[in-house]
Structure 1
Amino acid sequence: MCGITGVFDTRGGKKIDRNLLQCMNQTLVHRGPDDGQIHIEPNIGLGHRRLSIMDISSGQQPLFNEDASVVVVFNGEIYNFEQLADELSTLGHKFRTHCDTEVIVHAWEEWGEQCVTHFNGMFAFAIWDRNQQVLFLARDRLGIKPFYYTWLNNGLFLFASELKALLVHPDFDRTLDHQAIEDYFAYGYVPDPKTIFKNTFKLNPGHTLMLRQDQSIASSREYWDIPFQPHDALNEQEAAEELVTRLRSAVDKRLMSEVPLGAFLSGGVDSSAIVALMSGLMQEPVNTCSISFSDRAFDESDYAQMVVERYQTQHFTEQVEQNDFDLIDRLATLYDEPFADSSAIPTYRVCELAKKRVTVALSGDGGDENFAGYRRYRWYMIEEQLRSKLPLGLRKPIFGLLGYVYPKADWAPKFLRAKTTFESLARDSVEGYFHSVSVLDNKLRQQLFSRDFHRSLQGYQAIEVLRYYDVKNPARDALSRVQYLDMKTYLAGDILTKVDRASMAHSLEVRIPLLDYEFVEWLSGLPASMKLRRQEGKYIFKKSLESYLPHEVLYRNKMGFAVPLASWFRGPLREHVRTTLLGNILADTGIFNMVFIKKMLDQHQSGRRDYSAPIWTLLMFEAFLRNVLSTSSSYVEQIEKVA
């Protein structure tokens, strides 16, 4: 795993600043502490930070073809590189290394921009072809690896694995994108392809971008999408058997390494499944890592221990205190833009623990999206059944009124909190799902933002993100439809972003078998009834694992990687959140209605309402403003650091 960065002069005639490129590259040292090199030639400069995993002795980058006319910088892993190397060798290509990076160079020479369709892996890379005067950029199908880019007013095109490398450039435009702010307070992250900065973007998962000289604008091209095409009829037993066979293959591909390798083990179904299959493929005991919590309501360590004992793993665990909130400012600098998933805290800690033992870890991420494991899917399907009984024209006034008059009861059991359900039923399917995933719903965002900020949005609303993807949604049934929406938004924007930054902060590579694209394609074709059946999420996954994992692990209530925000903000962080959120930093932006923020804090801290998620979202936005936006990352300061 590595970090990449680069500068391309689209107009020509400018000399690439070596010191500046070196500074940009140096900001990514945490992604690649083992080596750092740059390459500069007319109009192009490329930088790379290396975390050595494969072919440690000869896999340095930037890496060239035989005549040095093609050069690549690459972040990720190509799991089928050996097969591709054999194929390319028979076509006459000469290899000097035994690393996956060189496969990319020769695949480009042989197949051009179609090279990405041959790769099975997680990747973000940039290829410069001097003969064609082409810069080719690509990101993996599901967005496991990040890729950021921007155009400057002087014609320079910058790209990097993280925003912090772009922020170093003295001409980087730090103007905030107001639509991205609206998105952030709806979703808790900034969905691709936007970033928090107006003129800076993420390359969408499954997309490529090709630039030539005298080209100040270029559109990205999609080379892959999740098909959701139904399979030929499979009975339950056949599906379960094939599922395990395909997942075992996906795990096996990800065991290649010349450095210590292990796995995260939370005690949930997904990570336990990965450990179980690893144990059957490895001769030595699997290195497993997990964290426990002092608060038993959030602790899954007993379930992890069941898997440890069954497979005799080499297990390492550490207890994290529930008051582990000292990471707030650290997280802001890791993510470079507002990011409000509070499980980033325990994710950071488990990566910190894993790095003490291994350099590569396999994770169980992607299981909830693939197999409909989130609780919100169950509620959505119940609501969809009710929506199907009445047309929207009748539902909207009836349930809209019920949602308006029914009291908000955060303290009550879920089945008594009908206000949210009524509000969802008054909407169409996409609106209903958007309402269920929003950190701050439409009404709260309307109250949170100032009048001037609302005017600046010119009618834009965050639901447009889901509407955009729903237009091209290939799924035919209601459950698959929202799975697709999550895979295009939440998976890349939240889950994979969280894991990438937390792991790379510790120079740890994380591999994700459940997101093997061939496995994802096959799973998308299974009927919805095999994923969610009678309120049992991950139905076929659990059935397929019954001979591999204890019943207590498979069929228990989902806990998630949660932290006790509500009690933090009423207890140890009570004064901190008031001072922070009611201080000058948020007030001076002009974005917020400060009277409403105070009202939220008062109601939460009195116990009348649970505003923990909105408060955390505001805290992380304030931390971004204070630690990233207003912090000088000047060229001169960075040169001094490098020197």
Structure 2
Amino acid sequence: MSGDEEKSYQLALGHRRLSIIDLSPTGHQPMCYKNRYWIIYNGEVYNYLELREELKKSGHTFQSNSDTEVILAAYDEWGLNCLNHFIGMWAFLIFDTETGKLFGSRDRFGIKPLYYWFSHEGYLAFASEIKAFTMIPGWNPVVNGQRAYDFLIHGITDHTSETMFSDVYQLMGGEYFIVKISDILDTLPIQKWYSINRELILEPFDQSVQSYLLKLSESIKIHLRSDVNIGSCLSGGLDSSAIVSIINKITENNSPKQDQKTFSACSEQKQWDEREFIKAVLEEKDIDAHFVIPDVNGLAKDLNEILWHQDEPFRSTSIYAQWSVFQTAKENNVKVLLDGQGADEPIGGYHYFHDIFIASLLLQLKIPALLHEANELNTRHKRSYSDIIRSSLYYILSNNSIGRKILLLNQKESIDPKWLDREKIGAEITFPLSLTQTVKGIDLFTRYCYHQTFQASLPALLHYEDRNSMAFSIESRVPYLDHRIVEYIINLPDNYKIKNAVTKYVMRHSLKGYLPEKVRCRMDKMGFVTPEEHWMKCEEQDTFRTYLEYAIKKSDGIIKPEAIEYFDEMVTGKKPFSNTIWRIIIFGMWMELFKIRICK
């Protein structure tokens, strides 16, 4: 498009659609509204039907039955505030032809991705996947050394706006920008539009039990809106089992009753197999269940394709288990899968939150409660008191400058290892899992819930899930990340979330009668996992050694030969097993696949 000299610009919008709502051509994109606004959009606004009726009362008319057109009408009606009206997941760009302004936004938690890159040849490009930039003039990928360090040492990605590609950035969850195209130089005026206020909810526990179930059920119900077939992931853990069971309850009286399908990854190694719990959930339910057993040969066959779709290295082979689940869903003509992602972070559901809770109680000088929780951890989870003390102190020390110096002295081998040439990539020793951004007046436990939700854990998991699902043209939906649930659960008292060394305390109580007791009361946690330790130490030790040697060769000196020594010590049991070797392997493969170079 072009106008007078002041408004001259060049803009191209392209979109490849996965049709879920309104399958007709009227839902295609780029879409125009009122001959003024143009949009490209990825995601779903689940409350589009309610918003559509509200907007009609304000005089808006619609040519399609899609949520895309509702977004455009909402922006025309409410401007930036339209974002607060949406329940869902999205990444979109809206261009206003009258003002010449471009509006970009990402949903509250970053479920859907939005990357951008300023080419040295004068282009500003946006994409849902980094690999799209490889087709644009000026692409010459360079490793981001600091982000590479964070991944290799701490196993963390997507915790900042930077990616592992230098100069490639992402909008984080809850961010937006509005800018006049003619004003764009080499940065974007990105701002935060969403955060959660700490407003402690003081209500009886029994009331919270009922409220949690109601909110989760309402979220699942609205996430079932679709014009295509829907299924569910089912790992046998608490989160996915709750979704499957609530869907079964919601749809049991539907006429005609739609087939309920589930998809599960299992293992031939009993230690990593959850079929016992999956079958308990399926028992006495009319559910079409599908199972897949990812094996090491399949991983070898699909690895380059998985890495290409993921765009960046991923921290364990468990991503292959998830990949296999989506592949199986594709083979069974399912285009939407509901998944349990996002249930853990706001409620402190991971096992390390036990230690965070102990540390939080210590900082608040709640000594009787601390002693009670420590005793329960020892009894229920067989944790030694020395381990509890050591692990809890880490979360105190890592959040102050003196403490980090102590950790540096005691953990030098792990945070500055011999196998990594840190100077070659210009990386500083960091503690990205510490609370770099805190909210005043909030206890340590709640601050970590925030941190895990918006930075340290959830963004990477959403990245993996989005890329795996999109590889098979499947839309993954995460009902636990309805912001009404997240805002509610994160503001409940801590002892509603974790108590007597039991995580997800209020959630477990709310699911009485919905889940088999052996599932509801499970204390272990896996999700879709692979027997990576067994593969690496027993079944395919030589194969992984070959992978490691290849990664060292392709890392351009970043990974040093000492990594082989580390591998040998790990497979012989001299060092405890960790995902570090896998991270080294996939990092080297990533550098080769995407032709990454080091900035000289």
TM range (shorter): 0.7 to 0.9
Which string of whole-angstrom CA distances, capped at 9 and with x for unpartnered residues, describes residues 298-350 of structure 1?
11112111221243222222333466532432322121112213321111111
CA displacement, residues 492-519 of structure 1 (integer Å, 9 cap, x when unaligned): 4321111111111111111111110111
Shift of 1:380: 2.6
Please point out which of 495, 507, 526 is paired with 2:473: 507
Matches within 5 A, 1:130-169: 130-169=97-136
Contact 1:143 1:205 in 2 (8 A): yes
Counterpart among 148, 153, 163 of residue 195 in structure 1? 163
1:412-561 matches, cutoff 5 A: 415=383, 422=390, 425=393, 428-431=396-399, 443-448=413-418, 453=423, 456-457=426-427, 460-464=428-432, 466-470=434-438, 473=439, 476-560=442-526, 561=528
CA distance in 1 between counterparts of 2:413 and 2:392 reads: 13
Deviates more, 1:536-545 or 1:605-614: 605-614
Q: Does 1:226 align with 2:201?
A: no
Q: 1:452 to 1:354 in 2, by over 3 A?
A: closer
Q: Distance in 2 between matches of 1:105 and 1:427?
A: 45
Report what 1:292 is aligned to: 266
Of the candidates 609, 627, 633, which is equivalent to residue 575 of structure 2?
A: 609
One-letter code of the match for 1:179? Answer: Q
Residue-by-residue CA offset, 1:390-411 (whole Å, 9 max, x unaligned): 9xxxxxxxxxxxxxxxxxxxxx
Query: Which one of 531, 538, 546 corresponds to residue 571 of structure 1?
Result: 538
Residue type of the alignment partner of 2:204: N
* CA deviation string 1:80-101 (max 9, x = no partner): 1112112222222221001000
Matched, 1:65 2:33: yes
| CA gap 1:329/1:518 in 2 versus in 1, 3 angstroms | same
Residue 454 of structure 1, CA deviation: 6.7
Of 298, 304, 308, which residue of structure 2 is paired with 1:329?
A: 304
Which residue type is aligned with residue 526 of structure 1?
L
CA–CA distance in structure 2, aligned partners of residues 617 and 64 of structure 1: 44
> Which amino acid letter does the alignment assign opposite residue 246 of structure 2?
L
Shift of 1:467: 3.7
Match of residue 361, structure 1, among 332, 337, 340: 337
The answer to whether residue 228 in structure 2 is matched with residue 254 in structure 1 is no
After the TM superposition, which of the residue ranges 288-297 and 500-509 deviates more from structure 2?
288-297
2:96 to 97, 116, 129: 129
Contact 1:294 1:320 in 2 (8 A): no
Q: Do the aligned residues in 2 keep the contact of 1:265 with 1:272 (CA within 8 Å)? A: yes
| Closer, same or farther: CA 572–600 of 1 in aligned 2, 3 Å | same
CA contact (8 A) 2:294 2:320 kept: no
Matched residue of 1:314: which SS?
strand
Q: CA deviation at 1:588?
A: 5.5
Per-residue deviation, 1:617: 0.7
Contact kept, 8 Å, 1:192 with 1:203, in 2: the verdict is no
Contact 1:262 1:288 in 2 (8 A): yes
- Structure 1: 5+ residue runs without aligned partners? 1-7, 15-40, 391-412, 632-643
Q: Give the alignment partner of residue 242 of structure 2, picking from 256, 260, 273.
A: 273
1:344 corresponds in structure 2 to: 319
State which drifts further: 441-450 or 111-120. 441-450
Contact 1:384 1:429 in 2 (8 A): no
Separation in structure 2 between the aligned mates of residue 627 and residue 122 of structure 1, nearest angstrom:
30
SS in 2 for 1:248: helix
* 552 and 495 in structure 1: CA distance in 2 versus 1, 3 angstrom threshold: same
Corresponding residue number in structure 1 for 2:375: none
Question: What's the offset of the Cα at 1:136?
Answer: 0.9
CA distance in 2 between partners of 1:275 and 1:45 (Å): 42
User: 1:210 matched to which residue of 2?
Assistant: 178
On the 8 A contact 2:449/2:490 being kept in 1, the answer is no
Q: 2:42 aligns with which of 72, 75, 78?
A: 75
Query: Match of 1:50, SS?
Result: coil
> Residue type matched to 2:260 in 1?
V
Q: Give aligned pairs, total.
A: 565
Change (3 A) 1:318 1:575: closer
Judge which range, 191-200 or 309-318, deviates more. 309-318
TM-score, normalized by length of structure 2?
Answer: 0.87
Q: Name the amino acid aligned to 1:193.
A: S
Alignment match, 1:619:
585
| 1:543-580 deviation digits (Å, cap 9, x = unpaired) | 01111111111112323133222222223432233333
Alignment gaps of 5+ in structure 2: 367-380
Q: Please give the TM-score of this superposition, normalised by the length of structure 1.
A: 0.81
In structure 1, what is the Cα distance between the partners aligned to 2:40 and 2:150? 32
1:352-407 per-residue CA deviation (whole Å, 9 max, x = no partner) reads 112223111111111211322211111232344556779xxxxxxxxxxxxxxxxx
- Once the two structures are TM-superposed, the CA of residue 261 in structure 1 deviates from its matched residue by 0.9
* Letter paired with 2:160: D
Question: Equivalents in 1 of 2:486, 2:411: separation in Å?
Answer: 31
Q: Do 2:27 and 2:68's aligned partners in 1 also have CA atoms closer than 8 Å?
A: yes
Q: Contact between 1:292 and 1:318, CA under 8 Å: does it hold in 2?
A: yes
